[in-house]
Amino acid sequence: MTTPARVPRWFTKAAWYLALIGLSIPFVFPFLWMVSSSFKNSTEMFAFPPTLIPETLRWRNFVQVFEYQPFAQQYFNSVYIAALVTIATILVSSMAGYAFARIRFRFSTLIFFLMLTALMMPIEVTIIPNFFFMRLLGLVNTHVPLIVLPVFGSSGVVATFLMRQYFLSLPTELEEAAMIDGMGRFGIFFKIALPLARPALGSVGILTFLYSWNSFLEPLVFVNDLNLFTLPLALNTFTDSYGLPLWHLQLAATTLSVIPILVVYVLAQRQVVESFAMSGMKG
């Protein structure tokens, strides 16, 4: 493999970085606009031509966000619900995914495929019978449906699917060795398979947290109390009495709500980035 000797290394590096930056512009520009707009007033936000750097930093927007409605409470609601959903999903889906991938039991493929159907009906329609059901159980205007439905619904099934595929792609030597040593299934799962699956757990964590954090229809349907609102609902409520969005508040609130996701992302990235620990896996 020869590199053209005349092109200096720093040049290729710089070109490389430039290309990456260029590629990332359409991805990141709207995000930057969103953040910078949260410091503007409505007029400046839609000024023409649009400005990326606000003329003045209106920190007041962020204060007003908390004055307008019980935003801090709503924020907390979103955080704890998403955390619960993520933890429960990781547990439930990793167990199920492992079973589908590694354990031979009757009808396993059939059951797995059946569960995939949870993905296939649009939630706009299945939420109606679910609402009637939750009403029957007296769980309307509580957070219970918001926690339970994602874990067993499409988000949880996606997680199981992901875990299954990941477990399938792991070499089996370690598990077999453990079986020879007499370890039972639970032991193999918790002590060997699960630690190996950290990258998949990381991506399941991000996806599930995101799904719960961003879900709008479920809270809309199940929650009546302003104090029980989650963030997407709260964001939609930053309107004047004619339904017109109060952009400076909405975008400021949106910018605030982005922070936990980025935190989860960075934390989960460490799991995803982790180089394959058991490098002695080749045969």
Partner 1 sequence: MKLARFVLPAVLLVALTSLATAQQLRFTVWSGNEAHLSMLNGFADGFAETHPGVSVQFDVIPFGDYVQKVTLQLAGGNPPDLGWLAEASAPTFIDAGVLADVGDALRNDSDYDFADFSEPALGLWERGDAVYGVPFSTSPFIVYFNRDLFEQAGLTPPDVLAEQGAWTWETLKESAAAIADASDAFGFESVDGEGYGARVWHTLVPIVRGYGGEAWSDGACRLDSPEAVEAVQLYHDMVYEDASAVPPGEQGDFFTGRSGITITQLSRVSKLAEADFDWGLAPMPSGPAEDVAVIGQAAVVVFEAGQQTELATEFLAYMTNKENVAVMAEFFPPARRSVLDSEAFLSSNPMVTPQQMEIVASGIAGGRVLPNHPNFPQIDAAARPVFDELWNADADVAAVMTRVCDAIDAQLQ
Partner 2 sequence: MDQVPGTPATPRPQKPPPRKGARSLRALDEIYGYLFVAPQLTGFLLFVIGPLVAVVIYSFQERNLLTGAVTNVGLQNYNDAFFTNPTFWKVLGNTFVFTAGLVPVNIALALALALLLNRRFPGVTLFRTLFFAPVVTSAVAWAIVWRFMLQGEQGTVNQVLALVGVDGPNWLRSPGWAMTAVIGTRVLKNVGLNMIIYLAALQAIPREYGEAAAIDGAGRWQIFRRITLPLLAPTTLVVAVITVVGSLKVFDHILLMTGGGPANATMVLVYYIYQQAFEFFEIGYAATLSVILFVITLVLTAIQWLVNARRS
Stretch 160-179 residues interacting with partner 2 (CB under 8 A): 160-162, 164-166, 168-173, 175-176, 179
Site of interaction with partner 1 (CB under 8 A): 41-44, 46-48, 67-69, 128, 131-132, 135, 140, 220-221, 224-226, 229, 233-234, 236-244
Binding mask 220-239 for partner 2 (x = CB under 8 A): ---------------x----
239 phi/psi in degrees, rounded to 5: -125, 160
Q: How far is the CB of 213 from partner 1 (least distance, A)?
A: 17
Task: Yes or no: say if 81 and 147 are a contact pair by the CB < 8 Å rule.
Answer: yes
Nearest to 278 by CA among 137, 178, 128: 178
Q: Which of residues 45-104 bind partner 2 (CB under 8 A)?
A: 48, 50, 91-93, 95-96, 98-104
The Cα 150–Cα 220 span in angstroms is 15
Residue 227, contacted partner among partner 2, partner 1, none, CB below 5-8 A by kind: none
Q: How far is the CB of 251 from partner 1 (least distance, A)?
A: 15
Binding mask 139-158 for partner 2 (x = CB under 8 A): ---------xx-xxx--xxx
6: Cβ–Cβ under 8 A, 6 or more apart, which residues?
A: none
Residue 224, contacted partner among partner 2, partner 1, none, CB below 5-8 A by kind: partner 1
Tokens of 82: 């998403």
Beta partners for 245? 239
Q: How far is the CB of 137 from partner 1 (least distance, A)?
A: 12
Alpha helices in the chain (DSSP H): 9-37, 42-45, 60-68, 71-102, 108-116, 123-136, 144-152, 154-169, 173-180, 185-187, 194-196, 198-214, 217-222, 231-236, 247-273
Q: How many residues bind partner 2 (CB under 8 A)?
A: 106
Q: How far is the CB of 73 from partner 1 (least distance, A)?
A: 13
Residue 10, contacted partner among partner 2, partner 1, none, CB below 5-8 A by kind: none
Nearest to 102 by CA among 153, 154, 158, 171: 171
219 belongs to the binding site for partner 2 (CB under 8 A): no
Task: Yes or no: say if 248 and 38 are a contact pair by the CB < 8 Å rule.
Answer: yes
276 belongs to the binding site for partner 2 (CB under 8 A): yes
128 belongs to the binding site for partner 2 (CB under 8 A): yes
Binding mask 19-48 for partner 2 (x = CB under 8 A): -x---x-xxxxxx-xx--x----------x
User: Which stretch, 2-10, 54-62, 63-71, 198-206, contacts partner 2 (CB under 8 A)?
Assistant: 198-206
CA angle 210, 101, 190 (to 5 degrees): 75
